[in-house]
A and B are shown apart, each in its own frame.
Chain A
């Protein structure tokens, strides 16, 4: 079929009766850079969890290149060409930067071939290293990297996997201003020849690097469109932007500004905390 790269239809996810995702449709075309935004608990991370096989939906379908992903195991979905990063970057601290990237690049090799020692650095690893600017840190254990470098390493590992769809979960969370700019450039670079879905909280970052945006709210798609359309939409302003006195700062940072009564109801528990558990 010549449909979209990713087609999510009628998705519903429940946690103990709570509907984290309640009838979401999402279509992402080949080559697109799509931003996924929404307040805490909107179901953004849950959506990615479902696509990558971490969470099972109660109903609905997820089709990637026409293949249904629901019910497949995580590593099988990766092998089909869907890769992701996590909110809290998880890299292997005991392994060097090169080794981390090399493992990410090697999963298509048969198991017996893995029993050979790595000689040098493969092309995919080298490319990922240069794209993310980690070449100088190649021999360092990932455990000594700064937070920003870890995120880049994780993005590098994702590139090294050569997936056809990349899912980035809050890549600039916890980053300094400078790091955000670098990550934005990195993202722009990657989006040139990849299909990317980015979850992001940071409105500043969104304004600068996003084109197509999907706004989730309480498990439903609220609006979809260009950044301008989305920002101009009164419903978005009400549930999302209006809630923040200062766009660009993290929700809950500092004492809540006056006139933010909507803070409590939908902030709720962060649904996505299951990601990276046991890591």
Chain B
């Protein structure tokens, strides 16, 4: 079967059950949001699936392959990649080079080929540069391609990460809080970018996000995690009508989130 299926995934840190038996499937297209209060286990789930930590128990299948506990670079070769909650930018490089690095698997990245720098390598680099500029256009950064990455604004860096992740031509892309810390207008830009990316690159996006307005606006499906378990899953309208979800958010101290849910639901 295609897409990602997570079976009874458990991640325990000492006595803490960060994920306590999660079953979940992500299809091979569309945007699937993963929401839940802080500490619900969203990032833990992404980390456990993308090879940052080894899960305590459970299985993860992708397009029929068992990918449980595979390291991140192997997952990338299978078409699974991610962005990071805390920016992970190649600060010492230009914007364009950041995206080119994302093309690593498609490039002539051998040691000897690099040492000799033959015409085939030069030609491939030219092709990849064109492709990278295309991705930068998609995220609205083409004009800044040759700027150093550390000269970009926060929202631009978030978009750069998305462009870099798309360069790997992923089938499945985890976006870990792509709009956290962004201004309202940056959020609108990013919503647009995420929608375009999912449509044009034929990638299945898993969106981890606190911003309900964004989640409800762009997602095809929504899954709510709470205390390491799945609380509810369905279309955005099903989830916001689910009384369990409302209670979970009201039951936490994060009442602003509850308000957001109400605001959108109302």
Chain B binds chain A = no
- Residues of chain A touching chain B, judged by Cβ–Cβ distance below 8 Å, are none
